[in-house]
């Protein structure tokens, strides 16, 4: 992600440690979006919530026996 300030990467898959690309999504905050202060914090919290919601969605897929058996969120600050 070019100009990234931080990124949440949500992955899921059938075999532990082998992410299925169709279930991988990135939610990123760019340097332009991160202005510090309240506006930057609001953007940060927005993307964090979106990543968490997607991870919960994958966890629900796990419970109904779909092709997802595990999920993970990785967070990186640049």
At 18-76, the pLDDT tens digits run 999 999 999 999 988 887 788 899 999 999 999 999 999 999 988 887 778 999 999 99
Grade residue 1 by pLDDT with cuts at 50, 70 and 90: low
pLDDT of residue 63: 85
The tokens 């609001």 sit on which residue? 42
Q: Please choose, from the candidates 42, 48, 12, the residue with its C-alpha nearest in 3D space to the C-alpha of residue 28.
A: 48
In the chain, how many domains are there? Answer: 1
Q: Please choose, from the candidates 54, 41, 43, the residue with its C-alpha nearest in 3D space to the C-alpha of residue 12.
A: 54
Q: Please choose, from the candidates 25, 32, 23, 26, the residue with its C-alpha nearest in 3D space to the C-alpha of residue 3.
A: 32
pLDDT of residue 71: 94
Structural domain for 72, as ranges: 4-77
Residues 6+ apart with CB under 8 A from 75: 6, 7, 8, 9
Average pLDDT over residues 6-22: 94
Pairing of strands 25-30, 4-13: antiparallel
């Amino acid at each position: 992600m070019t100009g990234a300030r931080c990124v949440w990467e949500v992955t899921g898959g059938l075999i532990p440690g082998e992410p299925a690309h169709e279930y991988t999504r990135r939610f990123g905050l760019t340097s332009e979006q991160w202005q510090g202060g309240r506006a930057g914090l609001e953007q940060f919290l927005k993307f964090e919530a979106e990543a968490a919601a997607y991870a919960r969605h994958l966890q629900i897929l796990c419970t109904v026996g779909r092709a997802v058996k595990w999920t993970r969120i990785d967070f990186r600050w640049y």
